[in-house]
Amino acid sequence: VSATGRGAADVLVDGETIAAVLAPGSTLLGHDLAASVDRVVDATGKYVVPGGVDAHTHMELPFGGTAASDTFETGTRAAAWGGTTTIIDFAVQRAGERVEDGLAAWHAKAAGSCAVDYGFHQIIGGVDEDSLAAMGWLVAEGITSYKLFMAYPGVFYADDAQILRAMQKAADLGLLTMMHAENGPAIDVLAAQLVAQGNTAPLFHGVARAWQLEEEATHRAIMLADVTGAPLYVVHVSAKQAVQQLAWARDAGKNVFGETCPQYLYLSLEEQLGAPGFDGAKWVCSTPLRSRAEGHQDHMWQALRTNDLQMVSTDHCPFCMKGQKELGLGDFRAIPNGIGSVEHRMDLMYQGVVTGEISLERWVEITSTTPARMFGLYGRKGVVAPGADADLVVYDPSGHTSIGIGATHHMNMDHSAWEGFEVDGHVDVVMSRGEVLVDPDGYHGRPGHGRYLRRDLSQYLV
Ligand code: URP
Ligand code: ZN
Ligand code: ZN
């Protein structure tokens, strides 16, 4: 199955790459194919798809005095289990820090640890003369996208002047600007008022982060990008009104793109409201879960069909309840933001095929092909074709996957945001550059197999 169609074929892998995609029953220089190779993976009755590309993860991200609980080792192992063979993680530069040092720290965390291939985006948490000057250097390092935050004043926040200057530079260089589009200063006022009124429970995280403040920031990001001529990629979109901004901008010919995440398709504020005690903290993430009654989830699915949203990443940012999420027991503002999903994206999105929300081909497109094209990896990743890396997933549509802590969980977390989810499909075999990482016998991956990916410029620049 590819982003453009499906058909029966044999895939011949030679070393780390795909050598040929052949009609079933083809021979190899006159020899029977199956008799001429070292190993045959029988995928009869199953789908063979390009390995998943998760373009938004945060292994070991420092946040609110703690750090995301998956290391590059545990997080990429979980990714492999779930059929994701490439991640793009976010290296962090903070205000006052050199971009070069921020990136070096992320290389040090990931080198020798990853089970699957990895690239980096660069978070620029402090836009100043130094970090602006480093943007050209990033491209040479194979980092062709960077993220700015309109949220989190005092942590990563960029004001409009800083955003404009970074976008001007990005437009010159061909860098893709990734935007966390929420109005942080306004959110912080609302959050402080809620806490002062005694509304400290996890649910109020989502109340403070109103959809109006996502819509407004999305619009502002679009217009700032438009003034500079820079392409724009809005991360973790959860409000239907933010999607409507993207759709309007695209209809007006602007070069803007949007990503959503499985949590914004499946989970809602109502579930968080119904959770006992402090359990709602499991689902504290930013942007927040939105109200199902308001129709945000249905709108995300629709936007994936109409291409108003182009792809699905996880924003994998796991924190345990014990010692981490619990930091916010008396004040939701101290709950570290994030959900862990890197293991489940391929399955959760496949369930959208089962329920008829998206086609089989669209599943491949939004989980692998478009992420590879968007972030300069296409050709090596995102496609099953001669010359591509042999990153392959055999997916069994007659299999079944039960998600939860006692079931198929490999992420370094003491709970699952996806407890009890059932998927009518199963990741059977996962191959990364010709090495089988997962098969029905279990896990065969190892830290250090995964290599750093220098990325080309986005294919979506024009
Ligand atoms: O809640 C989230 N999304 N945590 C990770 C940081 C970010 O803004 O992507
Ligand atoms: Zn963000
Ligand atoms: Zn993120």
Class of residue 112 by CB neighbours under 10 A (exposed 0-12, middle 13-18, buried 19+): exposed
Residue 462 has pLDDT above 90, yes or no: no
Three-state secondary-structure class, residue 396: strand
Task: Report yes or no: 436 and 430 within 8 Å, Cβ to Cβ.
Answer: yes
Q: How remote is the CA of residue 234 from the centroid of ligand 2, in Å? A: 9
The predicted structure's pLDDT at residue 234: 99
- Output the CA–CA distances (angstroms, integers) from residue 296 to 74, 251, 303, 362, 432, in the order listed: 32, 21, 10, 20, 35
Distance of alpha carbon 246 from alpha carbon 258, whole angstroms: 7
Percentage of residues in the chain having pLDDT higher than 90? 95
Determine the angle formed by the axes of helices 240-251 and 296-306, rounding to 10 degrees: 30
Residue 417 has pLDDT above 90, yes or no: yes
Cα 238 → chain centroid: 14
Tokens read off for 118? 């990895």
Residue-wise burial string across 30-56, b where 16 or more C-beta atoms lie within 10 A, e elsewhere: eeebeeeeeeebebeebbbbbbbbbbb
Residue 278 has pLDDT above 90, yes or no: yes
Q: How remote is the CA of residue 317 from the centroid of ligand 1, in Å? A: 7
Q: How remote is the CA of residue 284 from the centroid of ligand 1, in Å? A: 10
- Compute the average pLDDT of residues 117-125: 98
What's the whole-model pTM score?
Answer: 0.98
Task: Report yes or no: 48 and 1 within 8 Å, Cβ to Cβ.
Answer: yes
Minimal-distance CA residue to ligand 1 atom 9: 315
Residue 407 has pLDDT above 90, yes or no: no
Check: complex ipTM more than 0.85: yes
Ligand 1 atom closest to the Cα of residue 58 is: 5
Pocket of ligand 1 (CB under 6 A): 58, 180, 236, 285-286, 315, 317, 337-338
The CA-based angle 251-313-457, given to 5 degrees, is: 65
Residues 6+ apart with CB under 8 A from 108: none
Q: Which ligand is nearest to the CA of 179?
A: 2
Q: Virtual CA dihedral for 436, 439, 441, 443, nearest 10 degrees?
A: 60
The CA-based angle 285-371-234, given to 5 degrees, is: 45
Residue 221 has pLDDT above 80, yes or no: yes
Cα 111 → chain centroid: 20
Across the chain, mean pLDDT equals: 97
Torsion 407-85-307-454 (CA) sign = positive
The predicted structure's pLDDT at residue 35: 85
Span 310-369, pLDDT tens digits: 999 999 999 999 999 999 999 999 999 999 999 999 999 999 999 999 999 999 999 999
Nearest to 157 by CA among 286, 310, 327: 286
Q: How remote is the CA of residue 317 from the centroid of ligand 3, in Å? A: 7
Span 144-168, pLDDT tens digits: 999 999 999 999 999 999 999 999 9
Nearest to 70 by CA among 411, 452, 403, 416: 411
Name the one residue in this structure whose structure tokens are 């009518």.
424
